[in-house]
Structure 1
Amino acid sequence: MSDIEIIEQFCDQIWMEQGLSDATLASYRSDLKKFSQWLATNQTLLIDVSRVDIQNYLANRYKHGFNSRSTARFLSSARKFYRYMMQNNVITEDPTLHIDSPKIQPPVPKSISEEDIDNLLQQPELETPMGLRDKAMLELLYSSGLRITELISVEINQIGFQQGVIRVVGKGNKERLVPMGEVALDAILSYIRAGRAELAKGKVIDVLFLSNRGQQMTRQTFWHRIKFYANQAGFNKPISPHTLRHAFATHLLNHGADLRTLQMLLGHSDLSTTQIYTHVAKERLKQLHSTHHPRG
């Protein structure tokens, strides 16, 4: 049986067993066919592959500039294929064992300028309960860098009105205290005084931010609210709640915050997660050097 026939048989079988999408099957098919074509130059079949063959193929991909994400995808396809071959007793040893996937660098977060943020935060109409709520949510999100799930889950008793901090329950039920800033605190107080009761519709509920039905807001609802205000502000690029979290981190670094402090504020358990922002710190240092150093 030829490599092409084996690949098609494999794709048909896992489609029947696992109901994978057409896109996933197309990825498997493409990755395996390209591997088969490379093997053919050495007169090797897919079922005769050794671990060395795969390592050589990975080295060849690196030489030709393939990125780590596509290489990781190939390895995922190869592992799936050779496990299938093992299960069907076509081969006796999985050649993908003990081969590590390449580390995939997280994408550099896209941020927006402080001017754009100011423009966005001015959009909600403060004459309506929903406008007061949205203003408070946007200000808190940008002021504290909360995750969207943390934001919509905030309860009134988590707000330290006197101290100007919010007690956030993050991933793994880990708690952290995050400063809010006076603007965010004022927006929250305005919402509580003049908007929240109308949205609550007589219900007693602990969650701070309520939908127009008197319930906890959903992630999707708030995402749509941000998109609505972004359109009003004339943004020509996509924006999401996560964009404001990135803006919070980026703007803090631009104004001199260090990564360890940022890690605590964002609720990252590992500093390496926060280090995706190091490019911001480097650019800040370059600007300072260029501006202030006599040889800049």
Structure 2
Amino acid sequence: MSATSEHLRWISTFLDAQAAELGAANNTQLAYARDLKDFAGWLAARKCTFDAATRDDVEAYLIFCDAQGLAKSTRARRLSAIKQLYRFGFEEGWRSDNPAIQIAGPGREKRLPKTLSMAEVDGLLAAAREVGRSPHDRVRNTCLMELLYATGMRVSELVSLPVAAARGNPRMLLIRGKGDKERMVPLSPPARDALIEWLAVWEDIQDDARSKGKAASRFLFASRGKEGHLTRHRFYILIKEMAVHAGVMPSKVTPHTLRHAFATHLLENGADLRSIQTLLGHADVATTEIYTHVLEARLQELVLTHHPLAKDDE
């Protein structure tokens, strides 16, 4: 068996196991595949294989990645993928050791997530009611933004919402997140109103489609594209248009900053971390703890800006 075939066998078997045993999301699997194929290509160029690579080889690959100018986060992710591959190989009996087990990662740069003030969010929500080519578009855009801020959903979860999740009395929304895990999130009154209004429009659009012999969409935010629903890229463009309309710096606004704003504003208003963790769908509360640092940074800025003793003597 050639080195390339052997590498592909390792990677494909590992990914199949990740999907079957751990419920790894499709995006996670794609990231693992990219990282491991890059490592495999590097090994192949040196006439080496997964089953023969040593700790020195793995460390040399990480040095190579650093020389390529890759970010710490990317190098840490690649090492994580390699460690998991070799742990799987050890458990399967393909190797008698894990050459990457004792290698320390480069660490991640601690950067606070960008967020938005409540006034900026209010501006974006108001802009959603005015941005769009038609009344239908504006109702949809309002629903998108209200749901995003009310729930803190990931953009992939938002655009692919099935209409079945929003049926009935929409006081709660069922969200299918990473690893196919489901969670329930409550809706604010403005989000419920926006959803009810959009559902009425959605029904009209689907009735029109049926009258033309077309099947009704199963997605809340249907699209004629191959995915069948609004794409993340299209929503990204929409939210930038809303930022311009609201007078908010577009570079500050992405779907993910609305998710950060949701969490930060909850924390500012007294919500506990465990509740926020559940609402965001974080597997580990340590991921949620970053928002305490955002709040600390804001409070520090507030004191330095407004406290009289913090001002320089003139």
TM-score, length-scaled by structure 1: 0.62
> Given the superposition, is the C-alpha separation of residues 189 and 104 from structure 1 closer, same or farther in structure 2, using an over 3 Å criterion?
same
Greater shift after overlay, 281-290 or 133-142? Answer: 281-290
| Partner in structure 2 of residue 59 of structure 1 | none
Aligned-pair CA distance for 1:205: 1.6
1:187-206 equivalence runs, <5 A: 187-194=194-201, 197-198=204-205, 201-202=209-210, 203-206=215-218
| Partner in structure 1 of residue 220 of structure 2 | 208
Q: Decide which of 259, 267, 282 is 2:273's aligned counterpart.
A: 259
| Letter paired with 2:267 | L
Aligned-pair CA distance for 1:71: 11
State the distance in 1 between where 2:140 and 2:190 align: 14
Check the 8 A contact 2:128/2:145 in 1, yes or no: no
State the distance in 1 between where 2:66 and 2:269 align: 47
Aligned-pair CA distance for 1:281: 4.5
State the distance in 2 between where 1:165 and 1:71 align: 36
| Letter paired with 2:284 | D
State the distance in 1 between where 2:301 and 2:222 align: 43
| Letter paired with 1:174 | K
State the distance in 1 between where 2:249 and 2:300 align: 29
| Partner in structure 2 of residue 111 of structure 1 | 115
Determine whether 1:31 maps to 2:63.
Answer: no
| Partner in structure 1 of residue 38 of structure 2 | none
State the distance in 2 between where 1:30 and 1:125 align: 46
Question: 3-state DSSP class of the match of 1:150?
Answer: helix
| Partner in structure 2 of residue 84 of structure 1 | none
CA offset digits 1:243-266 (Å, max 9, x no partner) = 111110011001011111100000
1:158-169 equivalence runs, <5 A: 158-159=165-166, 161-162=168-169, 164-169=171-176
1:260-275 equivalence runs, <5 A: 260-275=274-289
1:35-54 equivalence runs, <5 A: none
| Letter paired with 2:72 | R
For structure 1, the residue ranges without an aligned partner over 5 or more in a row are 1-10, 18-24, 33-67, 80-94, 291-296
| Letter paired with 1:228 | E
Aligned-pair CA distance for 1:146: 0.4
| Letter paired with 1:266 | L
Question: 3-state DSSP class of the match of 1:209?
Answer: coil
| Partner in structure 2 of residue 243 of structure 1 | 257
Aligned-pair CA distance for 1:158: 1.1
Aligned-pair CA distance for 1:133: 0.5
Q: Which structure has the greater CA radius of gyration? A: 1
Q: Decide which of 51, 54, 69 is 2:72's aligned counterpart.
A: 69
| Letter paired with 1:201 | A
Aligned-pair CA distance for 1:124: 2.7
State the distance in 2 between where 1:226 and 1:163 align: 24
> Given the superposition, is the C-alpha separation of residues 178 and 160 from structure 1 closer, same or farther in structure 2, using an over 3 Å criterion?
farther
> Given the superposition, is the C-alpha separation of residues 72 and 137 from structure 1 closer, same or farther in structure 2, using an over 3 Å criterion?
closer
> Given the superposition, is the C-alpha separation of residues 286 and 226 from structure 1 closer, same or farther in structure 2, using an over 3 Å criterion?
closer
> Given the superposition, is the C-alpha separation of residues 185 and 212 from structure 1 closer, same or farther in structure 2, using an over 3 Å criterion?
farther
Q: Decide which of 158, 171, 174 is 2:181's aligned counterpart.
A: 174
Determine whether 1:220 maps to 2:200.
Answer: no
Aligned-pair CA distance for 1:139: 0.3
> Given the superposition, is the C-alpha separation of residues 288 and 260 from structure 1 closer, same or farther in structure 2, using an over 3 Å criterion?
farther
> Given the superposition, is the C-alpha separation of residues 70 and 225 from structure 1 closer, same or farther in structure 2, using an over 3 Å criterion?
closer
| Partner in structure 2 of residue 50 of structure 1 | none
Query: Considering only aligned residues, what root-mean-square deviation do their CA atoms show, in Å?
Result: 4.0
CA offset digits 1:4-46 (Å, max 9, x no partner) = xxxxxxx9x959x9xxxxxxx9x949839xxxxxxxxxxxxxx
> Given the superposition, is the C-alpha separation of residues 209 and 102 from structure 1 closer, same or farther in structure 2, using an over 3 Å criterion?
same
State the distance in 2 between where 1:201 and 1:149 align: 25
